[in-house]
C-alpha cells in the first residue's frame, strides 16, 4: 500500500477508541511503557504522542478501528470483538485477546413478547451478526438496523427482540427487558495490519509479545 504517512519502520501507530476500551487498555499499555503524553479526555488531539519513542496513538471511533488497521493508516488497533464481528472486512491479523471490556452479545426482549405478524423482529446495531445468528438457527427474523438505544425498540413496538451488549444486566432490567440467549462472549482484541507485520516486524512483534506477557500475568 502506498502509505508514505506511516511507512517509517521505526514509527508505530496504534488505533484506540475513547471511552471504556481506552480506559481499560491504558493500564496494559502503561505496563509495557506506552503512556500518552496528553489526556485524551481533555485534549482535542486525535494523534497522541506517547512516552515510547516512535509510538503514537490514534484516537478514533470504536467502529472505525478495523478500517484504519486494514488500510494501514494504523499498524495496530484495539477493538471489541463485537465491532470486529460486525465489520465487513477481515483483512488483518488478530493475534491477542486482551481480556478487557468484557461483556456478552445477547438476545433480549420483553418477558411476554407479542410477535408482530407472527414473525420475530430484531432491532440492533449488530445487524450482520444478528442476521448470521438467526440464519444459523434457521429462524426467520426481520432485522432492523439501529445506531443506539436499542432497549427502546421493544418498549415502543418497533421490535420484539434486541441484540445488544450486556454486562451487569442493569440496562435491560431498568427497561423491563429480560435476556433470552447469549450469542457470544465479548472482549477486546489486538489487531494488526498485515503489511506492518512484515515491514515493521521488529517493533510490532515486540509490542505483541509485551502485551501478551502482561495479559497473561493478569
Could you list the residues that contact ligand PRT (CB under 6 A)?
17-21, 61-63, 80, 82-83, 101, 103, 164-171, 186, 188
Shortest Cβ distance from residue 63 to ligand PRT (Å)?
A: 6
| Residue (17 or 120) nearer to ligand PRT, CB | 17
Shortest Cβ distance from residue 179 to ligand PRT (Å)?
A: 9
User: DSSP per residue over the chain, as a string?
Assistant: ----TT--TT-EEEEEETTHHHHHHHHHHHHTT--BSS-TTT---SEEEBSSTTEEEEEE-GGGHHHHHHTTSSSEEEEEHHHHHH-S---SEEEEE---S-EEEEEEE-SS---BTTBEEEEES-HHHHHHHHHHHT--EEEEE-SS-TTHHHHTTS-SEEEEEESSSHHHHHTT-EEEEEEEEE-EEEEE-HHHHHHTHHHHHHHHHHHHHHHHH-
Shortest Cβ distance from residue 113 to ligand PRT (Å)?
A: 20
| Residue (154 or 203) nearer to ligand PRT, CB | 154
Residue nearest to ligand PRT (CB): 80
Shortest Cβ distance from residue 154 to ligand PRT (Å)?
A: 14
| Residue (143 or 177) nearer to ligand PRT, CB | 177
Shortest Cβ distance from residue 108 to ligand PRT (Å)?
A: 10
| Residue (21 or 211) nearer to ligand PRT, CB | 21
Amino acid at each position: 500500500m502506498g502509505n508514505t504517512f506511516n511507512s517509517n519502520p521505526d514509527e508505530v501507530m496504534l488505533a484506540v477508541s475513547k471511552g471504556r476500551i481506552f480506559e481499560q487498555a491504558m493500564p496494559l499499555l502503561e505496563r509495557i511503557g506506552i503512556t500518552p503524553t496528553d489526556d485524551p479526555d481533555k485534549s482535542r488531539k486525535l494523534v497522541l504522542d506517547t512516552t515510547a519513542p516512535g509510538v503514537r496513538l490514534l484516537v478514533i471511533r470504536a467502529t472505525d478501528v478495523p478500517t484504519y488497521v486494514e488500510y494501514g493508516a494504523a499498524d495496530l488497533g484495539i477493538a471489541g470483538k463485537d465491532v470486529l464481528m460486525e465489520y465487513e472486512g477481515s483483512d488483518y491479523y488478530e493475534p491477542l485477546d486482551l481480556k478487557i471490556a468484557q461483556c456478552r452479545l445477547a438476545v433480549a426482549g420483553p418477558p411476554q413478547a407479542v410477535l408482530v405478524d407472527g414473525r420475530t423482529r430484531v432491532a440492533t446495531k449488530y445487524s450482520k451478526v444478528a442476521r448470521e445468528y438467526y440464519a444459523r438457527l434457521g429462524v426467520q427474523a426481520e432485522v432492523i438496523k439501529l445506531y443506539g438505544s436499542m432497549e427502546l425498540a421493544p418498549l415502543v413496538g418497533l421490535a420484539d427482540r434486541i441484540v445488544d451488549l450486556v454486562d451487569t444486566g442493569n440496562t435491560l432490567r431498568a427497561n423491563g427487558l429480560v435476556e433470552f440467549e447469549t450469542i457470544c462472549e465479548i472482549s477486546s482484541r489486538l489487531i494488526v495490519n498485515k503489511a506492518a507485520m512484515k515491514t515493521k516486524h521488529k517493533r510490532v512483534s515486540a509490542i505483541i509479545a509485551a502485551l501478551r506477557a502482561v495479559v497473561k500475568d493478569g
